[in-house]
Homo-oligomer: A and B are copies of this chain.
Amino acid sequence: MKYSKATNYALHTMLFLAVATPNKLVSVHQLAEWQKVSPTYLSKILTKLVKEGMIDSSSGANGGYSLKSNWEDISFLDIIHAIEGKSSLFDCCLNEEPECLIKQTMLSAEEKMEDELKSQKLVELAKKIKVDI
């Protein structure tokens, strides 16, 4: 069980947009070159973020991607959910038996991780990095 590389690319891209160029448009070409990944593949990933309403895109010359105006609300969990989906990490055969203790335990542990990821806002990381620089 691992986070996918796609999630990794999404997190890095979002932090890049937040730190380096909070307003300007950045092309997938730049982002892909920086992360050493193919532009078409990264494009697929970024399109998911667009559909989740986290970033804007514009076609044409000097087009690219930019954070949406409400970007300061975005958490790590939002980004991860956009790429990995929102279903539980624990799949059991039948999702009947709501009071099953195994399921409860696994879900509650997962919730602890999600709570932490939800509390980590992109904007806070971006601020810290800017101070470092």
Q: Which of B101, B105, B113, B128 contacts A110 (CB 8 A)?
A: B113
Please report the C-alpha to C-alpha distance between residue A76 and residue B7 in the assembled complex, in whole angstroms: 26
Q: Is the CB of A3 within 8 A of B91?
A: yes
Identical copies in the complex: 2
Q: Which of A7, A102, A114, A115 has the most B CB atoms < 10 Å from its CB?
A: A102
Please report the C-alpha to C-alpha distance between residue A84 and residue B1 in the assembled complex, in whole angstroms: 7
Contact bitstring A90-120, B, C-beta under 8 A = 1, else 0 = 1110000000011001101110111111001
Q: Which of A7, A114, A117 has the most B CB atoms < 10 Å from its CB?
A: A117
- Contact of A20 with B by CB under 8 A: no
**A90-B3, A112-B113, A116-B112 known; A76-B105 Cβ under 8 A:** yes
Q: Which of B76, B91, B109, B114 contacts A120 (CB 8 A)?
A: B109
A68 CB, nearest partner CB in chain B, Å:
21
- Contact of A4 with B by CB under 8 A: yes
Residues from chain B with Cβ under 8 Å of A106 in the complex: 3, 11, 76
Query: Can you report 5 A-B residue pairs in the complex whose CB atoms are below 8 A from each other?
Result: A1-B3, A2-B89, A15-B102, A109-B114, A112-B116
